[in-house]
Structure 1
Amino acid sequence: MAAVDSTQRTPAFRQVLVEALREEASVWLLVVKTLIAFFLTGWIAMRLALPSPSSAMLTTIIVANRQSGMVLAKSFYRGIGTVVGTLVAIVIVSAFAQQRVLFLLSLSVWIGLCTAGATLYRNFKSYAFVLAGYGTALVAVPVINAPLNVFDSAWARMSEVLLGLLMSGVVSEAVFPARMRDVMRRTGREQFTDFIAFVRGAVGGVVPREAMENAHLRFVRAAVTLEDLRSSVVFEDVETRARSNHLRLFNQRFMATSTSFQSLHHLINRLKRAHRERAAAALIRLYAPLRKGLDGPLGAGLAAQALLPPLVDARKAIDADVVFLRASLADAQDLRDFDTGAALIRRFADELHDYVESAAALQSSRPFPTISAERVRFDRGNDFLGAGIAMARATLTMLALGAFWIQSAWPFGSSAMLLATVFAGLFATAPNPTRTTWIVMLGYLCGMTMAFICLFFILTQVDGFGLMAVCVFPFIAVGLVMMFTPKTASFGLGWAFGLTYLLGLNNIQVFDPAHAINDAIAQIIGLGAAAAAFVVIPPAVGSPWLRRRLMARLRGQVALAANAPLPGLRHRFESVNNDLVSQVVAQTEPGSADSRALIAWALAVHETGRAVIEMRHDMAGRDVPDALRPYLATALDRLARFYTSPDVATYVAARDAVATAISGVFEHDGQAYLLEHLSLIRMALLDSESAVAAYMPDAPLAKEIAHAP
């Protein structure tokens, strides 16, 4: 028996060991690549006699990443931030060369603005804002007593940073490059296969609400992840840059198709709950041809292209079946339900075909002639009040340290300000910036301790760049290993920063223990000030207050659908919805009450908002009787008010306004298309399992799917 147990355990142990060794090897490969860039940059900087080679070397640590695309993307935005920060530093120094108070005030406000900008983005664009802020400080603060040297300081700063970025990019591309392109393609295939498989499995009709909610979260994450990858891969891959708009279009079509899919199944589920079996069964039969259209191997590329002809046939079959199935229904209410669902099925079939077509086009060697050339964007849902809080925190922190520096005439006050500037901006968007800053500060202290030992007990005994590199290698390698290990990343970041900064490697090395100790104390005080600022003015990220604001913004998307200009509205609505949901999901515990409320509201907003947008598009392309327009405008206005400020009164007003508009449509011939949209909106308002159920008054009308006479 023992032998059997051992045999059973061996494969698992071997698998765990292989996975551990593979992960350890990937970490050390990244460490080696970073160290090559680190020392190569230092050697070139010293050969060029740059003022601070250590700044160039530190840049290689900051932009280090496993994937080449990430390195290039981060380098690109760091370069932009450095250039902007340098130019602003020249302006500030030129304007307030003799006014220290105004100098510090303008610098603090600028850093606050950059910190606010960093909170509005969740990719490397935010890094450009952070760099523009503390890059200004790195150029301007050291020359506060010698303003005429600002041009030399600016040139040196730009040269050092750009050299570090260049070397990081070259090494990342030349030494065992890891391509983000492969990750993006795999993510796109997984998005496609997951969605098509889910649609194929749902052809039977009713999809449990829990399954739909879980699928919605997967689809949201897939859309946001693909956009984040695309924004990085364009830096490393020519083909991705050429097809960037097609990738956006593929993602936008995915979001639109998934919304129509969810709306369709919510409609069928509501009809089932309301015992409208005939209408529900007819819609399920009408939906059935899509099952045949989706048969075949799953995957993007040739498999996607092979799905196109069957989907065309499926759309034709649906059009043919509509007449037959509608004729099988005699009840007027069943007919209205069927017409609403049939219009939704047709919309879904068209969008599904377009989505599959875009998937096939991405893998084709030649662009599809039918693919739209429309420029699409992935808009983000940003909270400007939260950005204002981040701005106030960074500005006040800089002002407090600046005031202390002026009053105390502390020789090392500039070091404290620089460190506070860096980390106040760098961690402004972190979920728990106070804890992160304290961990980084502990790592920074350990790194500076190691730097002190290396500098004064080892480097004093050697000469030449080669021996210097050999001596520094074990100290910096330890920090990099921790930095590239997820559990110790923050500590390792502080270690690598503190070690590199205090070493201050240069052509002519200065060994001054007193200066090093005082500089280290100043840096720790700067880090402590940044951590204290996050305590005094807590960040909005992760707070219940911000979650409530994001939820309100999500509900407000219905108002956007009702009032915003139509050009590009579909893309804007879908992308902002997905971005807002992904933000709140990241800040809520899975399965919690907040998470369930988020998903419920997200489904309601997606369904109602899309119905409103489609109705407005149809209204814009057709002649709507003047007598009917006031009813439609009132319905849209009441819907926007309810979703913006939900309560019983606004719910009743929206429900009644939609019912009134439906009654008005019955009085005008040739407006059946409006009835389809309005009926879908009304059913969503009367769904007892949706988020809006909490605002339904205790009346029979709220207990079932009701229809206007």
Structure 2
Amino acid sequence: MNMLLLKGRSYAQHALTALTSVNVLTPGWAYVFRSAAAVALAYAVAYSLQLDRAYSAANSVMLVASASQGATLGKGASRLAGTIIGGIAAIVLLGLTIQAPALFLIGYGLWLGMCSAAATVSRHFRSTTFAVLGYTVGFAAYEVLENPAHAFNGVAARIATVAVGVVCLGVVSALFSRRATREKLESAIALQLGKVGRLILARTRNGGEPASQATPEQIAALFAIDDLLEVSRAESPEVAVRAVAVRDGLAALFGALLGATESSIRLDMEDHTQRAAAGQTVELLAQAIELVESGEESQLKEALKKVAQLRRRLNRMVDETESQGGSSTALIKLDRLIEVISDWEAALIGLVQLHSPRAHRTASFRFHRDWHSAIKNGIRALIFITLVGELGLLTGWRNWQTAILLLAPYGILMAMTGNPVAGAVSFVKGTAAAIAPAFLCGFFLLPHVQGFPLMIAVMLPFWIAGFYAITKPNYAFAGMGYLVAFNTLIGEKNLMSYDMSAFFNYALGWMIAVIATVYVLKLILPHDPRRNAGRLSNAIRNDVRQLISSGYSGPRLVWEHLQHHRLAGIVANLKGDKDYASTLLSKCVGVLHLGRSSARLHLTLQDTEVPASVRQQASEALNEAGNPTQGTGKRLAVISEVVHASADTHQTNRRAIHRISACIRDMGGLVELHGDWFATNDRNSQC
């Protein structure tokens, strides 16, 4: 007995210590309390408007709430737009399939499949719009499927509850949260500018070797800024009109990262010109990095002056070296250094543009569209909606509509995550965890209270627990599943009733639906991370082949930004397979270096003064690099030497010829390293 008392006292002390260590003044807790307040407000407005399903308005708050005001506004607008358009589609579909549930299921499956495919190839909030657009048909048709005459009422009620939830959350977010995403965006860009700048310094300081390759963490962190930019656009009109200029800077920063990791560049400290260039770079770039990391607008402009001064000095060194008949090797290495510095400067300009009083239009960027996954997700949605619905009709299961009601959103949303099965399992855990609290609250607490304030007071601790779980990355999906299940199982309506048998039937149907989601994602066209990464790497190889064949078809930064998106996709798919991710990224980045070298060659060949014999040799080198076989690297080295020797007989074109020779030499070295992988495609992973 004493032992039990001691253990109980120990557990109580641990619990008290954990409770007292909680700091409720952190941004995470601010999000928790803000979201709970928005849920309470949604209930209040829904009851005031006498909406039948008041809990549905609260569910909208729970699904849209985010720690960022920009994400909250963007997701809310997308959810409302998707609900309105989806509601119209539901009325049309119900009208066409009146009193024919089987036919409705086929139509719903086709609709959900198309929306799932569109959501997969879309990005950011547009993806949310298409997802909501798809599954809203199921929510709008719920309980009116066998009585289509009430379809309009069902759709109107659905739109009303979603609108109430979105507006209430928007009001609370506007009043009690600050627009902090822009600050995060500026800090993230400055941080990456500093990291890439230090890679450049490491390459130039004391003739140091360049970094071996860009790491998965660097690739992912740099592209994550693009997602932050979209959130900031939704939050701030000032950022929205400058977003393209900022993205231009991000693309340039990726170009600087590639340049900082190129193995073909190493300054020779024995050469006076290269040593002087290294000294200038170390001095001025280091000063610029310090100014950038201060984060102040005036300091950013001063940093821009420093790096522009560095670029001008390096260009002056090139001109002086060329006029004095200096080393061709020194000229080529200075050219490469200037290219990297120019990219870093362009990235800094993108950051400065955030403070510019005017918006500047720049290039329009492209993103990778994974049509293979889109088609697969669409087919899966069609299969599981039709199959589960038809089974429900054939077996006469009373709650079959609940199954498709939940399978649709969970299936479509989880399919767009990096690990769909793991996300679905988290939803199962969250749903299971919600049943007992919902039963306790619905049958032992709420029946004994009267009045709206007491009702909110009873449910508030359960909401706070769910929102707190969402703030923990490992429990975010579980927290979301818990909140929606808890709130819906209680089912606070305008005319509240407590039916224990209905509760357990609904809870059983809910658990069957979320468990079925796991098996649907696992068995029907399952997610294969390595195959997805293989398709992305094939897309990179195909684009590099096209680049070797004909050069850039548009701005260089647009092309490199597209490849960066693909590299980030590889990292996301292989998040749990880091060794393979590092290996594959190393090959992909090496092939991108090959493409960049060939692009430099194409650019130099645009000089009309290049001799015909050199053009012929360069064309042969490009053909060899585009279709590498055994010995291609050595043949390219020979071609490079032949081209370099021809400079002695064409004195007026020495610089262009030396550049062509250097590009061919670089391509030869890269083909030696990556030629075997570049020459083969995984036929099972074609895009």
TM-score using structure 2 length: 0.85
The offset of 1:671, in angstroms, is: 8.5
Is 1:291 equivalent to 2:290 in the alignment?
no
**Residue 416 in structure 1 maps to residue 403 in structure 2:** yes
Superposition map of 1:234-253 within 5 A: 234-253=233-252
The partner residue of 1:503 within 490, 514, 521 is 490
Offset from partner CA, 1:648-684 (integer Å, 9 cap, x none): 4887898888889889999987485375256325324
Which deviates more from structure 2 when the two are superposed, residues 488-497 or residues 623-632? 623-632
Aligned length: 657
Q: Which residue of structure 2 lines up, in the alignment, with residue 10 of structure 1?
A: none
CA distance in 1, matches of 2:332, 2:216: 26
Distance in 2, matches of 1:511 and 1:191, equals 56
Moved more, 70-79 or 284-293: 284-293
Question: Following superposition of structure 1 onto structure 2, how do residues 268-417 of structure 1 map, counting pairs within 5 Å?
Answer: 268-269=265-266, 282-296=273-287, 297-299=290-292, 300=295, 301-322=297-318, 324-325=320-321, 335-364=327-356, 366-367=357-358, 373-377=361-365, 379-417=366-404
8 Å CA contact 1:428–1:539 kept in 2: the answer is no
Task: Kindly indicate whether the alpha-carbon contact (under 8 Å) linking 1:77 and 1:125 is maintained by their aligned counterparts in 2.
Answer: yes
Alignment match, 1:580: 566
With 120-129 and 487-496 compared, the bigger mean Cα shift is at: 120-129
Structure 2 CA distance for partners of 1:354 and 1:576, relative to 1, 3 Å: closer
Q: Of the candidates 594, 601, 604, which is equivalent to residue 587 of structure 2?
A: 601
Measure, in 2, the Cα distance between the counterparts of 1:391 and 1:653: 48
Displacement of 1:138: 1.1
Task: Return closer, same or farther for 1:82/1:649 CA change in 2, 3 Å cut-off.
Answer: farther
Q: In structure 1, what is the equivalent of residue 42 of structure 2?
A: 41
Structure 1 residues 629 and 158, CA, compared in 2 at 3 Å: closer, same or farther? Answer: farther
Q: After the TM superposition, which of the residue ranges 113-122 and 85-94 deviates more from structure 2? A: 113-122
C-alpha change, 1:255 and 1:475, in structure 2 (3 Å) is closer
CA RMSD of aligned residues (A): 3.6
Matched, 1:679 2:672: no
User: Is residue 658–residue 678 contact of structure 1 (8 Å, CA) maintained in 2?
Assistant: yes
Deviation at 1:336, TM superposition (A): 4.4
Change (3 A) 1:596 1:175: closer
Q: Report the counterpart of residue 540 of structure 2 in structure 1.
A: 554
Q: Distance in 2 between matches of 1:113 and 1:452?
A: 38
The equivalent of 1:3 in structure 2 is none
Aligned equivalent of 1:77: 78
Matches within 5 A, 1:103-114: 103-114=104-115
Distance in 2, matches of 1:608 and 1:683, equals: 8
Question: How many angstroms apart in 2 are the aligned matches of 1:657 and 1:418?
Answer: 65
Structure 2 SS opposite 1:343: helix
Pair 1:174–1:628, CA change in 2 (3 A) = same
- Matched residues in 1 for 2:472 and 2:348: separation? 39
- Structure 1 residues 32-41 or 192-201, which shifts more? 192-201
Distance 1:309 1:447, change over 3 A: closer
**Distance in 2 between residues matched to 1:312 and 1:18, nearest whole Å:** 54
Contact 2:552–2:559 (8 Å) recurs in 1: no
Partner of 2:204: 203
Q: Which one-letter code corresponds to 1:231 in the other structure?
A: E
CA offsets 1:180-209 (integer angstroms, 9 cap, x no match)? 122112112212233333333432254445
Distance 1:154 1:637, change over 3 A: farther
Deviation (angstroms), 1:155: 1.9
**Secondary structure at the counterpart of residue 450 of structure 2:** coil
SS at match of 1:234: helix
Partner of 1:703: none
When structure 1 is superposed on structure 2, of 319-328 and 339-348 the one drifting more is: 319-328
Q: CA deviation at 1:139?
A: 1.4
* Residue identity opposite 1:691 in structure 2: H
Contact 1:612 1:677 in 2 (8 A): no
Distance 1:477 1:309 in 2: 50
What amino acid is aligned across from residue 609 of structure 1 in structure 2? G
CA distance in 1, matches of 2:245, 2:19: 39
Question: 2:235 aligns to what SS in structure 1?
Answer: coil
- 1:147-189 alpha-carbon deviations (Å, 9 max, x no partner): 2322222222122112211111111121243621221121122
Match of 2:442 among 421, 433, 455: 455
How far, CA to CA, are the matches of 1:388 and 1:535 in structure 2?
17
Partner of 1:158: 159
Moved more, 228-237 or 154-163: 154-163
**Structure 1 residue 61: Cα displacement:** 0.6
Indicate the percent of aligned positions where both proteins have the same amino acid: 20
In the TM superposition, residue 60 of structure 1 has moved relative to its aligned partner by: 0.4
TM-score (normalised: structure 1): 0.82
1:52 touches 1:506 (CA, 8 Å); kept in 2?
Answer: yes
1:14-65 deviations in Å (ceiling 9; x for gaps): xx99996447844433222111111111111121122322111101011111
Offset at residue 406 of structure 1 (A): 2.1
**Structure 2 equivalent of residue 468 of structure 1:** 455
Taking a change above 3 Å as real, the CA distance of residues 638 and 693 of structure 1, as seen in their structure-2 partners, is: closer
Determine helix, strand or coil for the equivalent of 2:415.
coil
Find the aligned partners of 1:150 and 1:636 in 2 and give their Cα distance: 64
Change (3 A) 1:19 1:97: same
Tell me how far 1:600 sits from its aligned partner. 2.2
Show the 5 A alignment for 1:641-680.
Answer: 641-642=627-628, 648=630, 670=653, 673=656, 676-677=659-660, 679-680=662-663
Provide the secondary structure at the position in 1 that maps to 2:196: helix
**Residue 168 of structure 2 aligns with which residue?**
167
The residue number in structure 1 matching 2:685 is none
**Residue 9 of structure 2: aligned partner:** none
Q: In structure 2, give the amino acid aligned to 1:237.
A: S
Shift of 1:635: 4.8
Secondary structure of 1:97's aligned partner: coil
**Does 574-583 or 84-93 show the bigger shift?**
84-93
| Closer/same/farther in 2, CA of residues 684 and 486 from structure 1, 3 Å limit | same
Tell me what 2:128 maps to: 127
- Where do 1:692-703 residues align within 5 Å? 692=675
Which structure 1 residue ranges, 5 or more long, are not aligned? 1-15, 697-709
Q: How much has 1:325 moved relative to structure 2?
A: 4.1
Partner of 1:12: none
Distance 2:305 2:26 in 1: 47
TM-aligned CA distance change 1:414 to 1:662, over 3 Å: farther
**AA matched with 1:673:** A
1:501: how far off?
A: 1.1
SS of the aligned residue for 1:224 comes to helix
> Is contact 2:420-2:521 (8 Å) kept?
yes
Instruction: Tell me the CA shift for residue 328 of structure 1.
Output: 7.8
- Partners of 1:267 and 1:202 lie apart in 2 by 11
Partner of residue 423, structure 2 = 436
CA distance in 1 between partners of 2:135 and 2:71 (Å): 21
Q: Which residue of 2 aligns with 1:56?
A: 57
- State the distance in 2 between where 1:675 and 1:38 align: 68
Pairing 1:259–2:258 present: yes
Name whichever of 550-559 and 525-534 sits farther off. 550-559
Q: Which amino acid aligns with 2:300?
A: A
Q: Note the alpha carbon deviations across 1:488-521, whole angstroms, 9 max, x for none.
A: 3333222211111112211111333222222222
Contact 1:638–1:657 (CA under 8 A) maintained in structure 2: no
2:417 alignment partner, SS class: coil
Query: Are 2:540 and 1:533 aligned?
Result: no
Note if contact 1:287-1:345 (Cα within 8 Å) is conserved in structure 2: no
CA pair 694-385 structure 1, distance change in 2 beyond 3 A: closer
Give the residue type in structure 1 aligned to 2:265: I
Partner of 1:267, secondary structure, is coil
One-letter amino acid of the structure 2 residue matched with residue 397 of structure 1? F
- Structure 1 residues 75 and 673 mapped into 2: Cα distance closer, same or farther (>3 Å)? farther
Partner of 1:363, secondary structure, is coil
Q: What amino acid is aligned across from residue 318 of structure 2 in structure 1?
A: V
